[in-house]
Structure formats: C-alpha cells, structure tokens
C-alpha cells in the first residue's frame, strides 16, 4: 500500500493531463461512433422505404401495362373485339399468374340509353342470359361486357359502373383525362370475403388521336379494366416474411393493408427504431403510408461498436494510469540506483539497450498500426477497380493499387524483421510433402515467368523423400523470396529450382534447395551486402527493379533460426545461385520420391495422415459443358471415385436427360455456347417434373459476379477450372456422405514425377510443369486423352476466333477467349490460358488491343506443336493385334459406351481397328479412327454398325 501511495505521489500534473485527455477522447469517440451508427441505420431505413415504394409502383405499372395491352388489342381489331378474341387475349396475357392480386381483365363499353336494346340483343347472341345490372335512373350505361377468366367472376358480368358514384367517378375521370385511374376502396362483387379492392381503368377511343384531343368524350368507346385485391398485391417480393420494414396503407379513412401486428416470425417491433408517414399519388388516388422498422432491422443495424469503444477506452485509461503508477515507481527506484551506481559505462549500456528495444518496438507497432489503414485503402481500391470507370481513372486506380501492394509487402517485411530481432518467431515443425513446398513456393510464379518469357524448371532428385519434418511456412517463405528475386532480376533465360537430399542417419538428413538464374548477377564485393537490412547490391538496383532490400535479410535470419545455411555464388552478368542447406528429420517409414512401394502414408499440407480414396455408391452425375475436353477430364475424375456420369453439351439436352431419369448431381458450365449455366439451373429449379439434383457450377471465371449469380440461380456449389480430383472429392463428401462405401480403397501410390532436364523433349515449353504434375501426375495417360480432345476442338476454336476478328465482335471474342482459357488450363497450358484471360478481360472492359491477334497466333502455334508430339511414334501394329475376346462383343461394348457419351477404351479401339485392317477394310478403319480422334460419337456408332456381321467373327 505504501509503495502505491508513493508511486501516486510521483505522478505529475502532465500525467494527469494525459489521462484526462485520453478520457475525453474516449467519450468523444464513443459519441461520434454512436452518431455514425445512427446515421448509417437511418440511411438504411430511407433506402428500404425508397425500395418499398419502387417495388409497389413497379407492380402497379405492370398492372397498367396489362390494361394498355388490352386497349391496344381492341384498337388492332378496329375497335370491334369479340368475346372469343378477348378470351384468347386474356389466356395469352395470363394476368392471374403474372400479376398477383388481379382477378381478371375485362372490357367496359359505354352504351347510351338509345342503344341499350341493340347492345343487349347483340350480346345475347352468344350469352342468352346477359343482362345489365343493377337498375338505375341514369341515361348512360357502362356495363362490364367481357371479363376473363370467367371462373369466379360471373357475378361481375353486366355490372353497370354508372350505378355507383365511386366506380362511376373514376371511370369518367379516365375517360376525360385519357389516363389510367383507380377507384376508391370497394368490395368486389365476386369476392365473397369482401376484402378491400379496387378497379383499375384505362380508356380506349375510336381513334388513337382522340386520346390526346381536348374533346375526348365524343370519341370515347369504353374502358379496359382489372379488379384487384390489395392484400394479394403484397404477395411475392412485397410479402411480409423476414422483412426489415412493416407498413400500413390507407385510402382516406379506409385501411387497405396493415402489418402492424405480431407476425409468424415474431418480427413485429412494438418500439421501432425508425418510423415515418407519407403520401403517394397512385393513379388518381392518394394513399397514406405508415412505415416502421422490424426487429430484424434492429438486429442488423444495432451497432455494438460505440459501447465497445467506450469500454475499451475506459480500460485503456485504467491501463495508462496503472502504467504511470508503475513507471513512477520504476523511476523512483531507478533514481535510487543512479545515486548508488556511479559507473558511467553501465549507464551508457542501459541507454544502448533501451534504444534497441525502442527501435524494435517502434518497428513492430508502426507496421501493425499502418497495416490496418493500408488494408482499408487496398480494399477501397479493389472496389474502385470493379466500378465503372473510364480508362484514365482505371489506370490511376491500378497504379495506386500496385503501389499499395508494394507498401503492404514492405510493412509485412518490416513486421517479420522486427519479430526476428525481438526473438518472437516460433517455429512449427510438422511433416510436409516436398510437392506442397513446390506448390507454395514455385507454382505461384509460373505465370509471371511465362509473361517474361522465362523457363521456370523444377528438378527433384529421385533420392529426395516424399515427406520431411520442418516448418513449411518459413521454408516456403525463404524459397518464395529466392524464386521471386530470381525472376525479378532475370530478363531472359531460365530460373531453375533443384531439390536434393543427403541423409546423415535413418531419421535425419539435409534438404538442399538451390535456386539458379541467368540474370544480372552480383559482384563479389557486393555479395555480403545483400543479406543486410534495407540493402541491395547497389543503389541503382532499387531504382530499376524496386524492392526494399529486406527479403534476403529475412531469409538469412530465418535460415539461422532453423539451423540452416544460406549461401550465394554469383558473378556480374552471369546469374546467381542461392543454396539453402536445411537440416530436417524424416517421418517414420518415409520413402524417397523414386521408390515404387504400393502402400505408404501420405502427407498433406504439413500433416501426416493416411489418405484412402473414398468410393461412392449409387450416384448418377450429369456433366453439362460444350467443350468435350472438359467433360472427359471430369468424367475421368468421377470414375476414380466409382461414380457413373453422362455428359451433354447444351441446355436442351440437359433438360431432356433430367426429365427422362433422375440424377443426383449436375456439374454445370456457366459459359455455354449461346446460353448460360445460370439460365439452365433456373429452368431445372422451376421444373416440377424433375427430381431436383445438387447443382455445382464449373467455370474458369473467379469473378464475384459469376459466383453470386450462380448461387442466386439455385446452384449449391462453385468449382473453378481447371478442376482437380481434390475438388471433386470435396464436393462429393460435402453433399453425398451417405453414399460413401463402407470399405475405402487406397489407390496405389504413384511416384511423384520429377521434371528432369530430359523431360523437356517430351512436353512443349508452354506446358507448365507444376500444373502438369497437379493435373496428370497420378494418371499420365489422361494427358494423352485430354491433348487429343483439345486438338479435336482446336479447329472449331481457331475458326471461331478468326470469324470474331473478321467482324470485330468484342462480345464473341470475350466468349471464345473464355472457352480457350478453360480448355488450355485443362491441359496445363498456362501460357495460352494467361493470354486468353487477358483478352477476355480486355474485351469485357471495352479496351481495343492487339490481344486477339496474338491469341490466335499462339493458339495455332500450340495446336501445331501438340499435334506433332506423336508424329515420330510408331503406329501400333494393328495387323498383328491378338484379340483377347470376340470382336462382336467388343463392338457391342464400344457402342454402349459411345451411346452414353463416354469414350471407348484404347484397347478396344486398337482391337477393332486391327480387325478391320486384317480383313482389308482399310477405308472403314481410317474413317473410324478419325471419328474417335475428333470425338464424333454418333459417327463412330454409325461406322461400327457398318462392320459386316459375317466378318465380325465370334
């Protein structure tokens, strides 16, 4: 207690001023935050009120349009429309289905007293019981002549508008003004419940010009009208379900509609946050609206931020006071120690240590504090990039966004550096796959390298274990810095990442990661400088290439923390080689990448877990995609999970398949030829005769608009192309857990293929090696089938792109570029996919570039190279092919698979082609081979059926 009082006595007037100012700032922040929250909620309320008015007026305008359409139909028939013609018009219009609340649509004719008998005689020809009612003393009659649909409206036929002032006043006003009018509240004669209703009138005249003349009454013939109920007016988007507003409508003293009662969802708020009253002119009537917020509105708009600010501020004030007390007490002790200690050297040492701590704390705190507004700035710039800006504004926003990203990366580097210097880095040692390290550290630079024309190679020694134990995040951070620098400082040539391993005993070893480039190199006298904070090889480097000079410094510090060494070998203009020698441990029973054992545990993103592949029973999947290559890949992935699938290429075929038999899952491409997947999904959801499946979108687009529109159309999930087996497995496990087979199968572990230097002869340079490994590492034969499918569709894509260029059709260019992007990504052609993506975005934004011409040239070149891959391979000796089963049975199996849009097996194709060659049917064999290569299934079935029965054999 005595120490606390002594410390309080040491608090100066300045300290108390700081505490008071902090308290005042807290209160001010609390009040300002409360005002902002209230203003935001009020704006939200005003927007909802305006939206309510717009929805109501939109619905009323739709009613008016129906009446105008009826007047137009009468005028189109020379003002003489029969009952049959009006019934046909009403059936086409289908007002009761399209316009909630409308009981029907009819015609009111004006009949002077002198013409009444002739009028009744004419109408009783078709309707003998037709009469005008009720009787009245007037000399002008306005009977309802037609009203469709008739069911439920029989009581209104012949009703005279002139018998009652409310109806007659509105009808006369419509006649004299030529405008649509509504009556005051009435009880419809055909409504047994006598709910508040209205009549909607729109006049028609003998001539079109009469509607705009002052003497309209002379040419007036009658009215098109519609009775409607206010309660049904509120159905659909105006329904009282989970809304943020409740409202009440009155016409004079008559209450038309009210929601000011407890609702089924208990959403009514007896003490609303906001409420308002106003009037709207609704076709000649003044409706009074009373609107108030609901409990759901309070829930969405009640902000806890002001209270949190107040509480947090008070806590901070208390902490500041406590800190002052502690500091004052520490100051008193320090002064006592200064008196006792006279060594000036010790004082200088304390000051030096304090300076280091202040610097470290400053770097950490400032990087944290600046990061928060920087994230907000980047977020707002992203929103601006998505807004509709002109070209100049878009370029300015793009430059600001790039600069913000560079600054944010600098802040992240400073934060890492401060953590390292403050010894706050904690390493997390977990098993991880070497492939995961490559994906996190190398694959993300593939497109950047290809854009610069660089070859990015990855060589993994066969002796390298599949899994090692270490801190994957920190190792990948070092590798990312090294690969990123290599690509940044290399203008031509290549960047090669090599991974090797040397064991020290059965459970330990050294992982050697080498990053070699053909860039500008580093002079020997500058090589130590690059590992220092904020230092590069020379001052011109940062001016030309950018960068903060922190990446290699952080990498060096992280390497030391993990007990590793990071070395550099380089010469000016001769490239640079960075080598990381990292000690690691091996998981139990871990094998090398070159081993071919069947059963082994698998590491996935740092966790050592067994990975059996699940099988799914009794699932039927329909694939909807207009590119056969995409269908083939997804079919192959589904087959690996034991799932049967069929494929179609347009919406009409998809609807026919779904109508003929049920499917559990539909994989739907969003950008089909001439239609969208969203439209097809909406048709499926509306079709009552279809057993509703799970629908997942397939798209090469990552835009938020496509994603949100897919979900709005009724889709359940969204997969981006190229689709990977893991995506399919995640989708199946998310929606079809009950179909998982009780016994899991673990497929034979395929060795991780390495991209050795010799592999360049097998794959063209434009095929991304990391992407190839991800897509086809487990099934190299799938690449051959996908390549053939790509070549089969390339002719159509080339022709379509040439046609677009000839007619300068930007919309069609965008569509074909999107299709090329998806097809190229599915065969790991990231170069073509990247160019197609740029063309698609440029066409979408209306930019005029030479991108489509470049895309066409690259597509033609890559198609030629892909078609030449098998040119040197020997054709199979079909004549010597020995059949293992009767050809007749093989043909039947092939026709069955082709009939289901499934690819026949290569063995079956070779057997049938060999059989035809043996029997001298070389022309038929050649046509059949071409049909298989171009995936023309119908033509292949027709050709198979032409094989003579007597020559098939048994």
CA separation for the pair 523, 518 (Å, rounded): 14
Lowest mean pLDDT among 5-14, 653-662, 812-821: 5-14
Q: Report CA-CA distances (Å) from 681 to 194, 675, 698, 727, 822.
A: 41, 11, 12, 21, 20
Q: Let me know if 352 is exposed, middle or buried by CB neighbors in 10 A (0-12, 13-18, 19+).
A: exposed
Q: For residue 936, give Cα distances in angstroms to 326, 483, 943.
A: 84, 45, 11
Of 231, 48, 227, the C-alpha closest to 146 is: 227
Instruction: Provide the pLDDT for residue 174.
Output: 92
Q: Are strands 186-187 and 111-112 parallel, antiparallel or unpaired?
A: unpaired
Find how far residue 462's CA is from the centre of its chain: 40
**Is there a contact between 223 and 145 (Cβ–Cβ < 8 Å)?**
no
pLDDT for res 892: 83
CB 834, CB 451: distance < 8 Å: yes
In this predicted structure, the answer to whether residue 719 has a pLDDT above a threshold of 70 is yes
Q: Are 45 and 273 in contact (CB under 8 A)?
A: yes
* Tens digits of residue pLDDT in 323-349: 877 777 777 777 677 677 767 777 776
Most confident stretch, 601-610, 757-766, 810-819: 810-819
Please report which residue ranges of 265-342 form alpha helices under DSSP H. 295-301, 305-340
535/897 Cα distance (integer angstroms): 65
- Enumerate residues 6+ apart whose C-beta is below 8 A from 227: 102, 103, 104, 153, 156, 188, 190, 197, 198, 199, 200
Q: What pLDDT is stored for residue 410 in this prediction?
A: 59
Higher model confidence: residue 755 or residue 869?
869
Most confident of 441-455, 627-641, 782-796, 874-888: 627-641
CA angle 212, 216, 252 (to 5 degrees): 90
Decide if 828 contacts 775 (C-beta within 8 A): yes
Query: Residue 778: CB partners within 8 Å, gap ≥ 6?
Result: 725, 747, 750
The residues, ordered by sequence, that sit 6+ positions from 37 with a Cβ below 8 Å of its Cβ are: 301, 303, 305, 306
In the block, residue with structure tokens 């269908």: 631
889 torsion bin: left (phi>0), alpha (psi -120 to 50), beta (else): alpha
- Give 411's pLDDT tier (boundaries 50, 70, 90): low
DSSP conformation class of 531: G
More confident residue, 789 or 667: 667
Angle, alpha carbons 467-412-305 (nearest 5°)? 110
pLDDT digits (tens, 9 = 90+) for 203-255: 999 888 877 777 788 889 999 999 988 777 776 556 665 578 888 899 888 88
Confidence of residue 265 (pLDDT cuts 50, 70, 90): low
Average pLDDT of the chain to the nearest whole number: 78
The pLDDT-based confidence of 591 (bands split at 50, 70, 90) is low
Q: Structure tokens of 423? A: 């010894």
Q: Are 116 and 135 in contact (CB under 8 A)?
A: no
- As a residue count, the chain comes to 954
How, if at all, do strands 144-148 and 105-109 pair? Answer: antiparallel
Q: Kindly give, in sequence order, each residue whose CB lies less than 8 Å from that of residue 896, ignoring residues fewer than 6 positions away.
A: none
- 452 or 703: whose pLDDT is higher? 452
In degrees, rounded to 5, the angle at the alpha carbon of residue 23 between the alpha carbons of residues 17 and 26 is: 140
For the cut 80, the answer to whether the pLDDT of residue 944 exceeds it is yes
Number of other residues whose CB lies within 10 A of the CB of residue 471? 21
| Separation CA 470–CA 509 (nearest Å) | 12
Instruction: Give the span between the Cα atoms of 486 and 445, in whole angstroms.
Output: 10
Q: Name the residue among 298, 301, 297, 245 with its Cα closest to residue 41.
A: 301
Extended strands (E) in 129-194: 140-141, 144-148, 181-182, 186-187
Minimum mean pLDDT range among 6-20, 62-76, 639-653, 928-942: 6-20
pLDDT at 849 over 80: no
- Residue that is written with structure tokens 């610097």 in the block: 359
Using CA atoms, how far residue 99 sits from 15, 203, 256, 284, 459, in Å, is: 71, 20, 18, 21, 67
The 10 Å Cβ neighbour count of residue 40 is 12
Of 105-114, 522-531, 836-845, 923-932, least confident by mean pLDDT is 522-531
Q: What percent of the chain has pLDDT over 90?
A: 17
Of 267-271, 429-433, 435-439, minimum mean pLDDT range? 435-439
Structure tokens at 177: 């003004």
What are the backbone angles phi and psi of residue 267, rounded to the nearest 5°? -100, -5
Instruction: Say if pTM beats, i.e. exceeds, 0.75.
Output: no
Query: What confidence tier does 170 reach under pLDDT thresholds 50, 70, 90?
Result: very high
How far is C-alpha 880 from the geometric centre of its chain's CA atoms? 53
Q: What is the pLDDT of residue 678?
A: 92
Q: Which residues contact 328 (CB under 8 A, 6 or more apart)?
A: 7, 8, 10, 11, 15
CB 940 within 8 A of CB 931: yes
- Predicted local confidence at residue 108, as pLDDT: 96
């Amino acid at each position: 207690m005595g120490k606390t009082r002594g410390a309080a006595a040491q608090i100066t007037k300045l300290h108390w001023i700081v505490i008071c100012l902090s308290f005042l700032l807290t209160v001010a922040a609390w009040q300002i935050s409360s005002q902002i929250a209230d203003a935001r909620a009020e704006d939200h309320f005003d927007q909802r009120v305006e939206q309510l008015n717009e929805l109501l007026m939109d619905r009323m305008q739709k009613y008016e349009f129906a009446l105008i359409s009826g007047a137009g139909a009468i005028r189109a028939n020379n003002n003489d429309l029969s009952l049959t013609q009006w019934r046909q018009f009403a059936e086409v219009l289908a007002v009761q289905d399209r316009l909630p609340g409308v009981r029907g649509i009819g015609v009111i004719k004006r009949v002077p007293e002198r013409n009444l008998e002739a009028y009744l005689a004419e109408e009783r020809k078709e309707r003998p019981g037709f009469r005008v009612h009720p009787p009245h003393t007037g000399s002008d009659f306005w009977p309802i002549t037609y009203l469709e649909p008739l069911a439920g409206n029989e009581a209104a036929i012949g009703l005279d508008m002139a018998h009652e002032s409310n109806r007659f006043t509105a009808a006369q006003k419509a006649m004299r003004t030529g405008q649509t009018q509504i009556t005051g509240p009435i009880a419809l004669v055909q409504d047994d419940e006598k709910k508040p209703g209205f009549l909607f009138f729109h006049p028609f005249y003998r001539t079109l010009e009469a509607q705009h003349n002052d003497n309209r009454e002379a040419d007036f013939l009658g009215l098109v009208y519609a009775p409607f109920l206010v309660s049904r007016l509120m159905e659909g988007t105006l329904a009282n379900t989970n809304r943020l507003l409740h409202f009440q409508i009155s016409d004079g003293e008559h209450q038309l509609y009210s929601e000011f009662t407890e609702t089924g969802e208990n959403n009514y708020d007896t003490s609303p946050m906001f409420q308002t009253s106003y009037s709207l002119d609704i076709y000649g009537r003044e409706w009074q609206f009373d609107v108030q917020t609901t409990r759901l509105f309070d829930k969405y708009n009640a902000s806890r931020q002001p209270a949190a600010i107040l509480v947090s501020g008070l806590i901070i004030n208390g902490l500041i006071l406590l800190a002052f007390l502690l500091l004052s007490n520490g100051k008193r002790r320090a002064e006592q120690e200064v008196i006792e200690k006279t060594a000036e050297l010790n004082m200088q040492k304390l000051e030096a240590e304090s300076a280091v701590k202040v610097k470290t704390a400053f770097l950490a705190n400032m990087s944290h504090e600046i990061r928060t507004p920087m994230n907000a700035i980047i977020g707002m710039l992203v929103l601006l990039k998505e807004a509709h800006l002109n070209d100049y504004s878009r370029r300015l926003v793009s430059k600001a966004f790039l600069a913000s990203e560079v600054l944010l990366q600098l802040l992240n580097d400073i934060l890492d550096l401060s953590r390292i210097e403050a010894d706050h880095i904690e390493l997390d040692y977990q098993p991880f796959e070497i492939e995961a390290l490559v994906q996190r550290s190398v694959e993300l630079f593939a497109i950047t390298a290809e854009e610069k024309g660089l070859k990015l190679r990855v060589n993994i020694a066969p002796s390298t274990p599949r899994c090692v134990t270490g801190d994957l995040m920190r190792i990948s951070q070092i590798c990312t810095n090294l690969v990123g620098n290599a690509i940044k400082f290399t203008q031509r040539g290549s960047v090669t990442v090599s991974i090797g391993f040397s064991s020290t005993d059965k459970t330990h070893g050294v992982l050697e990661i080498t990053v070699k480039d053909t860039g500008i190199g580093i002079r020997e006298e500058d090589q130590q400088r690059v590992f220092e904070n904020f230092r590069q090889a020379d001052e011109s480097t940062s001016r030309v290439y950018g960068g903060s000079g922190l990446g290699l410094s952080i990498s060096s510090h992280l390497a030391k923390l993990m007990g590793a060494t990071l070395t550099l070998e380089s010469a000016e203009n001769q490239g640079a080689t960075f080598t990381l020698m990292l000690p690691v441990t091996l998981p139990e029973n871990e094998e090398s990448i070159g081993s071919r054992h069947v059963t082994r545990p698998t590491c996935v993103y740092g966790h050592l877990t067994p990975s059996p592949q699940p099988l799914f029973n009794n699932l039927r999947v329909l694939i909807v995609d207009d590119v056969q290559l995409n269908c083939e890949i997804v079919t192959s992935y589904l087959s690996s999970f034991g799932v049967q699938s069929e494929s179609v290429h347009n919406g009409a075929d998809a609807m026919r398949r779904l109508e003929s038999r049920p499917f559990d899952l539909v994989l739907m491409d969003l950008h089909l030829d001439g239609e969208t997947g969203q439209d097809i999904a909406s048709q499926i959801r509306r079709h009552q005769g279809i057993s509703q499946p799970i629908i997942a979108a397939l798209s090469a687009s990552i835009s938020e608009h496509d994603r949100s529109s897919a979900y709005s159309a009724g889709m359940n999930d969204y997969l981006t192309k190229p689709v990977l087996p893991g995506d399919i497995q995640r989708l199946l496990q998310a929606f079809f857990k009950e179909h998982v087979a009780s016994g899991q199968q673990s497929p034979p572990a395929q060795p991780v293929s390495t991209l050795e230097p010799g592999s360049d002869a097998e794959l063209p340079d434009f095929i991304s090696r990391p992407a190839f490994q991800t897509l086809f590492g487990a099934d190299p034969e799938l690449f051959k089938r996908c390549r053939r499918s790509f070549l089969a569709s390339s002719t159509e894509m080339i022709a379509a792109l040439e046609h677009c260029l000839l007619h300068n059709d930007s919309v069609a260019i965008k569509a074909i570029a999107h299709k090329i992007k998806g097809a190229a990504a599915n065969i790991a052609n990231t170069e073509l996919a990247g160019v197609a993506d740029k063309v698609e975005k440029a066409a979408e934004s209306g930019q005029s570039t030479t991108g489509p011409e470049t895309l066409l040239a690259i597509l033609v070149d890559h198609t030629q190279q892909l078609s030449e891959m098998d040119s040197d391979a020997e054709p199979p000796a079909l004549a010597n092919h020995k059949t293992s089963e009767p050809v007749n049975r093989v043909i039947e199996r092939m026709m069955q698979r082709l009939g289901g849009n499934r690819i026949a097996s290569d063995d079956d194709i070779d057997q049938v082609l060999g059989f035809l060659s043996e029997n001298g049917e070389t022309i038929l064999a050649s046509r059949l081979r071409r049909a298989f290569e171009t995936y023309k299934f119908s033509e292949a079935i027709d050709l198979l059926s032409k094989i003579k029965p007597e020559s098939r054999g048994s």
